[in-house]
Structures are given as structure tokens and as C-alpha cells.
Amino acid sequence: MKNIIIGQYIPGSGFLYKLDPRTKIISVIVLMVAVFLLKSIVQLSIAMGLAILILIAGKISIIRIFRGLKPIFVLLIFTFVFQIFFNKEGALWVDETMTIGFVSITSMVLWTIIWRMLAKFKKFKMILFILYIGGLYLIMKYITYGTIFTTWQFLVYEKGVEMSFFVVIRLLIIITLSTVLTLTTKPTDLTQGIEKLMRPLKVIGISSEDFALIISISLRYIPTILDEANKIMLAQASRGADFAEGKLKDKIKQIISLLVPMFIIAFKRSEDLADAMESRNFVPGRERTRIHDLKLGRLDLLTGLATVLLLAGSILVRIYL
């Protein structure tokens, strides 16, 4: 839980922190569009380089972002594998006959057990995983003795490899950009930015203030609710409902014992919050003033210009290359 940094603000001092949230939101959206306009791996690699440059310029530790990406690795690996297996365009690169037989299944099971036993060396988790996948491949390719149940063709096409890298790099860029936005912008600033940007929607009857209020209240209460959930889990664990032990049948009851108090506490908290807001003279729909009003500065102008240039660049690349 503690390593998830997507959507979390970490105080710092780089130039990204000084930018107006509106500039950041629009720039991130525009840059994402620009990334989607790119067509080849080379172009994307350049874009990735630029993204890393932004991180360096903003004094954000790359390792930190990388660590925060951990929960998304599964998604990235899945996308990668999916593309390799199912994209059948371009020249054929690899064509192997894979065997699934009694002996190979046994060795695969053994290999899995060895891998899981080694899994306690957490430092080499990634290397072990790659070794494991490689091992599975070798087993299926070379162990052809004994009873053979079936065989299948392992086909890899040029486009498949290219697309898999392409999609993964694109995802990485997009995640990095949005992480930079939330990492360097206070939730309150972010909602204020969104509110200001959505102002024009008033014409079609959407109140941007209400919307911003909803977002900021939910963001504010995520840690509180998590904290409460943790306490409830401990309280129920003390009555013998340990969420780490127990059978599936017991688990259902345990989840109910967590959810009911959660709902009750959440409702009670929202009532309290409503009272607290009212006692501080909050009137829904009434105009509110701010302590810190957003102001666009020179830095915002420069960032905006750079963003527009990047977008123009990618449009040109799209048309002429």
C-alpha cells in the first residue's frame, strides 16, 4: 500500500511545483495527445527521452517514479505478452514447435516449485521471473520425451515484437506524465485548477464548483477511510476474524464484518462534515472566494509554448514521416 505513488502528492521544490495547476493539467493532456500521434518506435523513444528530461528538469527522482510503477508492471507485462502472441503481421521471426507431454509438464511443475522456493530472495525477483519464463520456454521446446499430449507452434512476428515495445513505451510515457502531474500538485490546487478549467461548462448546466468540491472531499477522505478500515480489521481480528487466516466460507462473513462498520462510519463522518461545513457558513451554490488565487506567470507561458511546440512537432512527424 505504501509504495503506491500514483495520485499522491510529495512536497518538493522543482520548477514543476511552481507552475499553475491549469497549465500542468492542459499540458499533460496535450502531451498525451501528442504521444498518441506518434507512429514508430524511434519517435516514441525520443518522446520517452523527453519525458525523462522533464523529470530531471523538475528535480524528480526517476527511481521514485520507477518504484511507483511497480503495481502497473503486471499490466505492462500482460500487454507485452498479449501483443507478442496475438499480433500476426510482418515477417515471421520465430517459429518453434512446442511440446506438451507428461515429462515436460512434470518438469514445468518442478521448475515452478524451484522458482517459488527461490522467491524469498526479493532483491532478484525480476531476474528470477525472467529466468522462470525462459526456463518454461526451454522445457517446452526441448523436452520431447515420454507421452506427448499435444504440440503447438510458438510464432513471433516482426510486427508483434515491435508493437509490444511500442504499446509498453507509450503506456510508460502516459503513466509518467500523469504521475508527474499528481506528484507535483497539491490535491487542493488540482481541484481548483479543474474547477477553473470547467467553468465554461456552466453554459450547459454543470456546476464546476460542485464538481471540484466532490473531488476534493473524496480525495481528502481516502486516507481517513483507509485508516478506519485498518482499525476495523484489527478490531474484528481481535474477535477471531483474521483476514490472513481462515477459509473462504469464513472470509465472506469477515468481509461483511468489515463493510458494515465502514458504511456506518462513512455515513456518520459525512454527516459530521456537513454539519461542520454548515457551521462555517458554507452555502451550496454560493460564490466562494479563495485565499490563494491562481495566477499565470512567465513560467506558465514558457511551459505552454513548449507544449504547443511539442504538439506541433508530433503533428508534423505524423504527416510527413
Partner 1 sequence: MGIQFKQVNFSYTGMQKGYYEAIKDISLSIESKNEFITLVGQTGSGKSTLAQHMNALVFPTSGTLEIFGKKVTSKRDRHIKYNDIRQKVGLVFQFPEYQLFEETVEKDIMFGPLNFHKTEEEAKVLAKKALQMVGLNDNYLNRNPFNLSGGEKKRVSIAGILALDPEVLVLDEPTSGLDPKGKRQLMDLFKSIQEETGKSIIVITHDMDLVYEYAKRVLVLDKGNLVFDGSPEVLFRMNDLSKFHLDYPQTIRVLKGINERFNLSIDIYQKTVHDATAAIKRGLNS
Q: Which residues bind partner 1 (CB under 8 A)?
A: 2, 8, 10-11, 228, 231-232, 234-242, 244-246, 250, 253, 256-257, 260-261, 264-265, 268
Helices (H) and strands (E) in the chain, counts: 12, 2
Place of cell 479563495: 290
- In whole angstroms, what separates CA 317 from the centre of its chain? 28
**What are the C-alpha distances in Å from 321 to residues 23, 31, 37, 39, 40?**
30, 19, 12, 9, 9
Nearer to partner 1, 150 or 238 (CB): 238
Cβ of residue 5: shortest distance to partner 1, in angstroms? Answer: 8
Nearer to partner 1, 105 or 265 (CB): 265
Check: CB of residue 167 under 8 Å from CB of residue 83: yes
96 beta partners: 154
Nearer to partner 1, 222 or 316 (CB): 222
Instruction: State the sign of the Cα–Cα–Cα–Cα dihedral 177, 178, 180, 181.
Output: positive
Cβ of residue 238: shortest distance to partner 1, in angstroms? Answer: 4
Place of cell 474477535: 239
Cβ of residue 14: shortest distance to partner 1, in angstroms? Answer: 16
Compute and round to an integer the Cα radius of gyration of the chain. 26
Element (H, E) at 217: helix 208-237
Of the candidates 289, 46, 282, which has an alpha carbon nearest to the alpha carbon of residue 170? 46
Nearer to partner 1, 3 or 153 (CB): 3
Cβ of residue 171: shortest distance to partner 1, in angstroms? Answer: 25
Cβ of residue 89: shortest distance to partner 1, in angstroms? Answer: 45
Nearer to partner 1, 9 or 211 (CB): 9
Nearer to partner 1, 39 or 125 (CB): 125
Cβ of residue 250: shortest distance to partner 1, in angstroms? Answer: 7
Cβ of residue 26: shortest distance to partner 1, in angstroms? Answer: 28
Cβ of residue 228: shortest distance to partner 1, in angstroms? Answer: 8
The C-alpha cell of 190 is what?
Answer: 488540482
Nearer to partner 1, 262 or 311 (CB): 262
Nearer to partner 1, 169 or 241 (CB): 241
Cβ of residue 257: shortest distance to partner 1, in angstroms? Answer: 5
77-94 b/e with 16+ CB inside 10 Å = b?
eebbeebbeebeeeeeee
Phi, psi for 158 (deg, rounded to 5): -55, -50
Check: CB of residue 37 under 8 Å from CB of residue 174: no
- Binning the chain into helix, strand and coil, the percentages to the nearest 5 are 70, 5, 20
What CA–CA distance (Å, rounded) separates 14 from 100?
55
Of the candidates 225, 195, 209, which has an alpha carbon nearest to the alpha carbon of residue 283? 209
Nearer to partner 1, 1 or 126 (CB): 1
